[in-house]
Amino acid sequence: MSSVKYTKSHEWVRVDGDEAVVGITDYAQTQLGDVVYVELPELGKRVEKGKEAAVVESVKAASEIYAPLSGEISAVNAALAEDPARVNTDAEGEGWFFKLKLKDATELDELLDKSDYDKFVAGLA
For 2-11, the pLDDT digits (tens) are: 489 999 999 9
Q: Give the mean pLDDT of 2-21.
A: 92
Spell 56-82 as b/e; 16+ CB within 10 A means b.
bebeeeebebbbbbbbebbebbeebee
**CATH class belonging to 4-120:** mainly beta
Cα–Cα dist 71/54, whole Å: 14
Residue 76: pLDDT band by 50, 70, 90 thresholds? very high
DSSP 46: E
The pLDDT value given to residue 125: 74
Cα 33 to Cα 19: distance, rounded to the nearest angstrom: 29
